[in-house]
Amino acid sequence: MQRWTQRSVPCCGFAIVAEVLVAMSGGVDSSVAAALLVDAGHQVTGVTLKLWGGETDSGCCSVSDVDDARWVAHALGIEHHVFNLGNEFNEHVVDRYVTDHARGLNPNPCIECNRHIKFGKLLDRADLLGFDQIATGHHAGVTDAGDRLYLTRGADRAKDQSYVLHMLGQRQLRRLRLPVGSMTKADVRRIASERGLLTAEKPDSQDVCFIHSKGGRKSFLGDRIPLTSGTIVDGSGEQVGTIESVELVTIGQRRGLDVGGNPGRRYVTGIDRSANIVTLGERSGSMRDRVRIGELVWSQDPVSGQVQAQFSAHGSTHGGVLSSPTDGEAILRWDTPQVAVAPGQSVVFYDGDRVLGGGIAG
């Protein structure tokens, strides 16, 4: 197996044949990623990660998804394997999700899965097995800035997944291929259809893979931690309703609140976990001029000063000034007040299309 160092990172344009381990979820994006690498002449092996052993209807992590990935691999003429990383997934993703909710946080399990599983454990396995690179079907890109590599936004802004990959550092970026990152979703489906792949029209996975739509977060968390009822009050402190579980409420939330049909749009502007009181108010009451960010990670060196920041997977970026990081924390002061970032949400920093790094709101 040939060893080599990556300098430029086009979709599939390396002249040297590489041994590539492709993470195949059973969806159309990873199917086409594998197909493009095969077409480029690389030695490709597909792997599906078996992560969640419970009931799911989210469109990933199911037996049918493994079967779909295996079918595509067979159609492409490549080997296919299944890695059972269920214990690691429970430890790093599911357990953290439950613990964070118990602490009143709003975690993003997809980010923790990417951090610890897809670009942690999978890369470790790739090293042990002697693969040069790993590849996924994420809509994002990798660019070479001469002295460093950067993660960049995908060409299809509606499908851009750079936010959930912001934790990738130089070690991961040097070994990573993202073949569909320069394509639109329509192009991906067109290629899959032309190749006759059964995943061509398969719907995208939308929800948390380990939470069934039948019971949602309430059922999932209620089986694992005590859920606490609370009181809903208005800005004057007058009770206007009740809430079954304070753990499931988020700053800025508008829907799903029992306030007795009270007219007008009102938002959660405060959550007092010690007293189990949720305060509602006008949207302006949920605006903040700054956010504290911890657990910082960087593409290369720590960044401070003017940045663009995004605090939801498909949200817009907003300008702000980031303080110099100290002990893994920094303060981001928004140029104009923004809806409060819920504790536990990730905040990702951009310079144009380049990802600089990110962290978790406190």
Q: Which residues contact 265 (CB under 8 A, 6 or more apart)?
A: 254, 283
- Residue 113 catalytic? yes
3-state helix, strand, coil in the chain (%, to 5): 25, 30, 45
Rounded CA gap, 217 and 248, in Å? 8
Rounded CA gap, 217 and 252, in Å? 18
Identify the residue whose tokens are 């070994």.
175
Q: Residue 2: how many CA atoms within 13 Å on its side-chain side?
A: 10
CA angle, corner 174, sides to 169 and 176, nearest 5? 95
CB of 272 within 8 A of CB of 324?
A: no
- Residue 209 catalytic? yes
Rounded CA gap, 22 and 76, in Å? 12
Catalytic residues: 113, 209
